Amino acid sequence: MTTMTAPVPSGGRRVEHPALPGGFAVPDFSAPLPPREGDRVIQFREALREAMSEEMRRDKRVFLMGEEVAEYNGAYKVSQGMLDEFGPKRIIDSPISENGFAGLGIAAAMYGLRPIIEFMSWSFSLVAADQLLNNAAKLLYMSGGQWGCPIVFRGNDGAGGQLGSTHSWCVEALYANVPGTKIVIPSNPYDGKGLLKTAILDPDPVFFLESERMLGDKAHVPEEEYYIPFGKARLVREGDAATLVSFGRPVHFCAEACEQLAAEGIECDLLDMRTVRPLDMASVVESLKRTNRLVVVDQSWPFASIASEVITQAIEQAFDWLDGPPIRVNTDDVPTPYAKAMEFAYLPNAEKIVAAVKRSLA
């Protein structure tokens, strides 16, 4: 398990329910501040559990449904103990029918509830793609604003460690193409908790993409309540040689690459996007004005990926600031291999990122 330092809020204060009339707003606890003495260190899965439990205590309309979330305490123990506290009417085991329980959740959201629907893997969400993309994402638009869909779909995204091609989908590029979706991809426990709490309160459908490989990661997470707004990237590291842009698990690969580059006197900006829809291009452009070079690291396949979108928007918005062509580091353009060594070679890694940064400098 990895222990990492994440930003924490500067002061603790109870936050009132932030779904405000006339708009949706949350307090901004996105700034990267150092941990304070005495702050807890907890696992990623525990931070997600706290986020759900806090919102369920506040609002009886919030419930969790998915495969093995109740009696088994969650396939990855994210919902451990929640059945004991909230009971079987709010922590609901579903049959193996993603299309069915995704549709049930959407209907519940239409009638005023606040569902959290857990997919054991986002690979399995493809079975429910019609519900997610043809119903949840379009409901507000097609009803002329009469029916909203405040629902969170969450679960594990990407290669989970020798799970093979059909269980290792990165769905963000596929789902981000559809208007009406919000897509959140946290890289650490602090962000995971703050972003999930915001997702539960959001009036629109939110796709919350976790990584099975990070659920045991530990970080400082304060006990007081906080939210992280969508569309605000986190500056993980500051430099002037190049801008590294990433999200989710690859942020860790980028941080490792930055350490290697720093040993050679090459200091990079590292931006953790946190959400890819909305996408904080303002922070990317601001960084490019100082570094003039861009490398985007994305665990999706390269064709029509989030990396491709970031680069396109960077060229549209900051072409005059670029001193060379942007470079993307993706997974290889093949189905995810099962063999451990091949899966490592297929994914982005520090060596690939270091080489990409050096190419951008050349």
Residues annotated as catalytic (active site), given as ranges: 98, 167
Phi-psi region of 155 (alpha: psi -120 to 50; beta: other; left: phi over 0): left
- 327-329: strand order across its sheet: 234-237, 269-272, 243-246, 294-297, 327-329
Give the C-alpha distances (Å, rounded to integers) separating 361 from 74, 241, 244, 285, 298: 46, 8, 13, 18, 20
Burial class (CB in 10 A: 0-12, 13-18, 19+), 224: exposed
- Residue 176 structure tokens: 């981000």
User: What gap in Å lies between CA 257 and CA 206, rounded to an integer?
Assistant: 31
Furthest C-alpha separation in the chain: 60
Phi-psi region of 37 (alpha: psi -120 to 50; beta: other; left: phi over 0): beta
Q: 3-state DSSP call for residue 275?
A: strand
Our CA angle for 277, 275, 23, nearest 5°, is 65
Tell me the β-bridge partners of 296.
Answer: 245, 328
Tell me the β-bridge partners of 42.
Answer: 219
In eight-state DSSP terms, residue 3 is B
Cα-only R_g, the chain: 20
Check if the beta carbon of residue 73 is closer than 8 Å to that of residue 112. no
Give the C-alpha distances (Å, rounded to integers) separating 255 from 5, 129, 157, 162, 328: 12, 34, 20, 24, 16
The residue behind tokens 């005023």 is 112
User: What gap in Å lies between CA 107 and CA 139, rounded to an integer?
Assistant: 11
